[in-house]
Amino acid sequence: MKAFQAILGVWLSAVIFCALMFPIVGEITRWYEFPVIPGLEQKARILFFHVPLAWTSVVGFVVSVFYAIRYLRSKQIDDDIKSSSAAGLGLLFCALTTLTGSIWAKFSWGSFWNWDPRETSIFVLLLIYGAYFALRSAVQEDDKKATLAAVYAIIAGVTMPFLMFVMPRIIESLHPDPIINTRGKVSINSTMLVVFFSSLAGFTALYFWIYSLKLRVARLEFKRSSAGE
Amino acid sequence: MVAPYLHLYEEFTALENLTLIDRIRGSNHTASEYEEMLAMVSLERRRHDVVRTFSSGMKQRLKYALAWMDRPGLLLLDEPRTNLDPEGITTMKTLFKEQRGNGIVIVATNEEDDAVMCDERISLSGVPPPGAPGTGRKGGR
Amino acid sequence: MIMKSDGFIRITAAVFRKDTSSELRTRYALNALFLFTVTTLSIILFSFQSATVPVQVHAGLLWVLIFFAAMSGLSRTFITEEDRGTILLLKLSTISTPVFYGKLLFNVLLLLALTAILTILYSLVLPGFAVMSMTSFCISLFLGTVGLASASTIIGALIAKANARGTLYPVLSFPIVLPLLLTVIRATTIAMEDPAWDAAMDEYRVLVSYIVAINAASYLVFEYIWKD
């Protein structure tokens, strides 16, 4: 575990360094340079942080739904602990995504919020997380709480794909997806691609590391509260 | 099942309660069969009155009619005497005897008078009931 | 309990009939919806006066009204059972699925009736309301209402078992229903601007798949709510 943490620390530091320090130039001459993306320039750097954060918030939600389904079949309270911990962490990452997204929006398009489909979908994810925890706090008994929360997570999980995938295809989006992925292929510079995927991997690993810690705490807390009854 | 915590639909009449619940159970009795059931529990004159206006004894009797309608294989009675006047208790005992011939009755009660009607007894209080050993609930076959 | 298909339909119909009779007799939801409609339409009318309003706003406003009307009326089928304790009676009488479908049908019909009345009143009362394609308009209203009723029913079943239901219902429903609302507002706007009946075909596809998805999920999941 310690080795993992050390590696993770070094990995993410390297990613952050590359993301922030690699110069952006018009003509690529060295391997460690990024090309200029018209319309983005320096602001492209946020790509390395914002997208992985968004990705992990969705991952958190998927993990939560997975354990929600497991809970309904097994009725083991541990599955519910896993589900709610994943959701709690997902909420944090989602809030960060919204924050970084807002900052990017301000610099790119002039205002903090625009109701672009992707912005809306991350906002809805935030609402889903919020509603999930509101529901949990409205029920006293543990097993009822777990069942109702699991059901809600599943229902929300069913409607999420509609926002994430269907709508941006139908409605025009401000997000630079069309700029970077013209003609449907990923035509992004390879150095950027490497740093991007490293960042993605790094953030995902970060999520799971914090998740395992949170899980340990949650399980201990649960044992303490049920022993105290 | 008949129990104090079983609630009926107060906005419907006695006959409607029987009809609607019966349909929800998937059976389909005739109108005369419903009236027969209500007559058995002495409610046929109040069949078109909403349950909200019933006394607690009448509601209890309606619950019996509801439970008995399908001649169930297993009848669960929780505190069978609740809210019943002597006439109601007689009706209850009649139903009990009939059920014994057709299926199983399980009675949960604190009343000795109810317990004597049963063949088998199981006691939850740890005090062995007169004439029958064991732990559990008072039951009857 | 294994049930033959015609028995299933009969029991669903029986639950539906019970809810409908109950509602006609007590009028809880109907009163709430009626008052809601009158109050909100009056407020909107006063705030708009004689100003002309762009088409997109009309579509959005109409659906906001329908959504909040749904929030005030559609949870009653489950909440009244829970509050009055009659849920035990239902549980003893039959399995979970026909109960759900009976109540779903009830909610769908209730909301369709409400949408029809609300839309008619809205169009009469507010200035600048015009529809280019009536077919398209009706299709979008119908699909949107069915979708909204489906989502509201399963969420209603969920909150009936929790505390603090009043505020919880919109909080839980809104994220679930938002994709539907966004799509149907677009569809309605298109119907009001474009005379072709199939101009909003993409939106209809999304709406239909939403309805299918939410109903499939509700069917699978209701059993777990029912079993407490």
pLDDT for C221 beyond 80: yes
**Best residue of C163, C177, C182 to probe chain A, by most A CBs closer than 10 Å:** C182
pLDDT score for A41: 62
Q: Is residue B20 less than 8 Å (CB to CB) from chain C?
A: yes
Residue B9 lies in a domain: no
Contact C218 A130 (CB under 8 A): no
Angle between helices C201-226 and C96-125 (to 10 degrees): 140
- Structure-token pair, residue A225: 């509260």
Q: What is the pLDDT, as a whole number, of residue B127?
A: 60
Structure confidence at residue A181 (pLDDT): 43
What integer pLDDT is reported at residue C116 of this predicted model?
92
> CA of C99, closest CA in chain A: separation in Å?
18
Check whether A180 has a pLDDT greater than 50.
Answer: no
pLDDT greater than 90 at residue A194:
no
pLDDT for residue A171 is more than 70: no
Q: What is the mean pLDDT of residues C67-86?
A: 87
Q: Looking at residue C177, what is its pLDDT?
A: 92
Fill in the DSSP letter of residue A44.
G
Interface of C with A (CB under 8 A): 151, 154-155, 158-159, 161-164, 168, 171-172, 174-176, 178-180, 182-183, 186, 202-203, 206, 209-210, 213-214, 216-218, 220-221, 224-225, 228
- The pLDDT-based confidence of A87 (bands split at 50, 70, 90) is very high
Nearest Cβ partner for A135 among C168, C179, C183: C168
Better-scored residue on pLDDT, A177 or A72: A72
**How many CB atoms are closer than 10 A to CB C51?**
8
ipTM: 0.88
Average of per-residue pLDDT across A134-139: 91
Do A219 and A64 contact (CB within 8 A), yes or no?
no
Contact C182 A167 (CB under 8 A): yes
Distance CA A160, CA C152 (A): 16
Please report the pLDDT score of residue B138 as a whole number: 45
Q: Closest chain C residue to B25 measured between Cα atoms?
A: C93
pLDDT at B139: 44
Is B23 touching C (CB cutoff 8 A)?
Answer: yes
* pLDDT tens per residue across span C90-127: 888 888 889 999 999 999 999 999 999 999 988 888 77
Q: Rounded to two decimals, what is the model's pTM? A: 0.84
- Contact between A104 and A174 under an 8 Å Cβ cutoff? The reply is no
Q: B76 by DSSP, 3-state: which?
A: strand
How close, in Å, is residue A117 to chain C by CA atoms? 10
Domains of chain A by residue range = 63-174+187-229
Report the 3 state secondary structure along B106-117. Answer: EEECCCHHHHCC
Which of the pair, A89 or B46, is modelled with greater confidence? A89
> What is the pLDDT, as a whole number, of residue A188?
63
Both tokens assigned to C199 = 């101009």
- For residue B5, being part of any structural domain is answered with no
Query: Which residues of B are less than 8 Å from C93 in CB distance?
Result: 21, 24-25
Q: Checking phi first, is residue B72 left (phi over 0); if not, alpha (psi -120 to 50) or beta?
A: beta
Res. C156 pLDDT band, cuts 50 70 90: very high
Chain C positions touching A155 (Cβ under 8 A) are 151, 154-155, 158, 176, 214, 217-218, 221
Domain limits for position B51 = 14-140
For range C81-87, the mean pLDDT: 83
Asked if the model's pLDDT at residue C128 lies above 80, the reply is no
pLDDT in tens, A150-164: 999 999 999 888 877
Task: Please count the structural domains in chain B.
Answer: 1
Residues C180-188 have a mean pLDDT of 89
Query: Among partner residues A138, A150, A170, which is closest to C202 by beta-carbon distance?
Result: A170
Interface contact B73, partner C, CB < 8 A: no
pLDDT grade, residue A229 (50/70/90)? low
Chains B and A in direct contact, meaning 3 or more beta-carbon pairs closer than 8 angstroms: no
Using CA atoms, how far apart are residues A87 and A64, in angstroms rounded to an integer?
Answer: 6
Q: Give the Cα separation of A196 and A209 in Å (integer).
A: 20
Parts of chain B with a pLDDT under 50: 132-141
Q: Would you give the DSSP letter of residue B105?
A: E
Residue of C161, C171, C209 lying closest to A131 (CB–CB): C171
For residue A62, give the amino acid letter. Answer: V
Q: How confident is the model at residue A179, as a pLDDT? A: 38
**8 Å CB contact between C141 and C201:** no
Asked if pLDDT for residue C63 goes beyond 90, the answer is yes
pLDDT of residue B140: 41
Gyration radius (Cα) of chain A, Å: 20
Task: Report yes or no on B109 lying in a domain.
Answer: yes
**Does residue C8 surpass a pLDDT of 90?**
no
B6–C17 CB contact, under 8 Å: no
Tokens of C64: 């906001």
Task: Assign residue B49 the CATH number of its domain.
Answer: 3.40.50.300
Chains touching chain B at 3 or more Cβ pairs under 8 angstroms?
C
pLDDT of residue B126: 62
Residue-averaged pLDDT of chain A = 79
Tell me the percentage of chain C whose pLDDT exceeds 70. 97
Q: Please judge whether B20 and C18 are an interchain contact, meaning their C-beta atoms are less than 8 angstroms apart.
A: yes
Q: Quick check: B68 contacting C, CB < 8 Å? A: no
- Residue B35 placed within a domain: yes
In 3D space, the residue among C195, C32, C26, C211 whose CA is nearest the CA of residue C104 turns out to be: C211
Residue A158: which of C209, C143, C187 has the closest Cα? Answer: C209
Instruction: Give tens-digit pLDDT for A106-118.
Output: 777 777 777 776 7
Distance CA B71, CA C207 (A): 47
* pLDDT at B128 (0 to 100): 58
Does the pLDDT at position C2 exceed 60?
no
Flag whether B7 is in a domain.
Answer: no
Cα distance between residue C104 and residue A159, in whole Å: 18
**Residues facing B107 on adjacent strands:** B77
As a whole number of angstroms, the distance between CA C48 and CA A91 comes to 39
